[in-house]
Amino acid sequence: MYAKRLDNLPPYLFAQIDKLKTEKRAEGVDIIDLGVGDPDLPTPPHIVEALCEAVRDPSTHHYPDYTGMIQYREAVASWYKSRFDVDLDPKTEVLALIGSKEGIAHVPEAFVNPGEYVLVPDPGYPVYKTSTLFAEGKVWEMPLSEENKFLPDLDAIPADVLKNASLMFIGYPNNPTAAIAPLSFFNEVVEFARENGIVVVHDNAYSEITFDGYKAPSFLQADGAKEVGMEMHSLSKTYNMTGWRLGMAAGGEEFISGLGRVKTNIDSGAFDAIQRAGITALTSSQQSVADACKVYQERRDILISGLKGLGFDVAAPKATFYVWMKVPDSMSFARKMLDEAGIVVTPGTGFGRNGEGYVRFAITRDTNRISEALERMRRIDF
């Protein structure tokens, strides 16, 4: 009944974890869910208000513009200018997305012929691989290792792969490793992409979730970035809007146009009322973002010092709401946490085989729950 391409997909780990979680809850277990990266904090009230107002205006009830409202694209361009000092033409270099996952999932359709390689970080956000497989491309895993600060080693990619590679995904601040990348790395990537004729998609979903004064760069700040690719961004993590489904692609005109051609044939754009709320999010005070980072930073500090106290080898991340921790065996550690303590963490292998030896904690629960999780962990014999 199902098409063969479904057989090629790895199982979506989060769906499996959801199933286990539901089973445990049905048994009456009080689950502490540090699994999926979905902020527990609400969308700031001024953004909610903007949506309510917009949705009462019947002009928002029609099919949206395929590429996004021009006012939304202008808001994205002005946010990029003020945040990163990057100039974008809102008409040709910005595209509205129904969440960045949607954009990422459609990119290979535009740039990858069947049988061509896509360079994908491993561990990495699972959609890079699955979208490659949907487009009948071939996945080339770029291992992210601690020795290389969880950056891919571009020199390690074989020449015969490079000859047949058309696309590369990267993303910093990184999910799941929480690693950050300096602008110099993005400059190297631009050079590499130019030499090898590869389109680069940088996934910058976490650029605003940063700590200790760190400010994450945009890939588009690298010299010539717009000549080789584009950046995916999202309002999901920055403004606690995961359920709203609004994001953007920004970058070189031909790349934005290629993705736009695919999307025009598949979806009919993001709801105008949500785009109007998105304009408010991007153009009004960013205090709520700073406040959220403070909340995550406090949680991070509690979790890291608790885990260190338990004898684990773990570093405090500078960005993202994830903690990537070394363990002897990913799957059995995650299983033990769930079975013996009712805590959900994500095994590193869910992000690719190079995630073996790690688990990911999402600090999307309040400090009481994080302290409670540490208390429960104290009782486990690891």
Ligand X SMILES: Cc1ncc(COP(=O)(O)O)c(C=O)c1O
Residues that bind ligand X (CB under 6 A): 37, 99-101, 125, 171, 175, 203, 205, 234, 236, 242, 247
Which C-beta is closer to ligand X: that of 110 or that of 170?
170
Q: What angle do CA 86, 46, 298 make, to 5 degrees?
A: 75
Contact status, residue 108 vs residue 167, Cβ threshold 8 Å = yes
Provide the minimum distance between the beta carbon of 131 and ligand X in the complex, in angstroms, as a whole number.
11
Provide the minimum distance between the beta carbon of 179 and ligand X in the complex, in angstroms, as a whole number.
12
φ/ψ of 339, rounded to 5, equals -70, -40
Provide the minimum distance between the beta carbon of 105 and ligand X in the complex, in angstroms, as a whole number.
9
- Token output for 222: 């690298």
Q: Which of the 8 DSSP states describes residue 319?
A: B
Report the amino acid identity of residue 130. Answer: T
In order, the DSSP letters of 139-204 are: EEEEE--GGGTT---GGGS-HHHHHTEEEEEE-SS-TTT-----HHHHHHHHHHHHHHT-EEEEE-
CA 174 to chain centre: 7
Q: What angle do CA 80, 84, 89 make, to 5 degrees?
A: 35
Provide the minimum distance between the beta carbon of 1 and ligand X in the complex, in angstroms, as a whole number.
29
- Token output for 210: 């940063």
Which C-beta is closer to ligand X: that of 104 or that of 373?
104
Which C-beta is closer to ligand X: that of 205 or that of 274?
205
Which C-beta is closer to ligand X: that of 306 or that of 317?
317
Provide the minimum distance between the beta carbon of 239 and ligand X in the complex, in angstroms, as a whole number.
11
Provide the minimum distance between the beta carbon of 37 and ligand X in the complex, in angstroms, as a whole number.
5
Which C-beta is closer to ligand X: that of 248 or that of 377?
248
Which C-beta is closer to ligand X: that of 96 or that of 112?
96
Provide the minimum distance between the beta carbon of 242 and ligand X in the complex, in angstroms, as a whole number.
5
CA 156 to chain centre: 25
φ/ψ of 36, rounded to 5, equals -75, 140
Contact status, residue 251 vs residue 220, Cβ threshold 8 Å = yes
Which C-beta is closer to ligand X: that of 39 or that of 90?
39
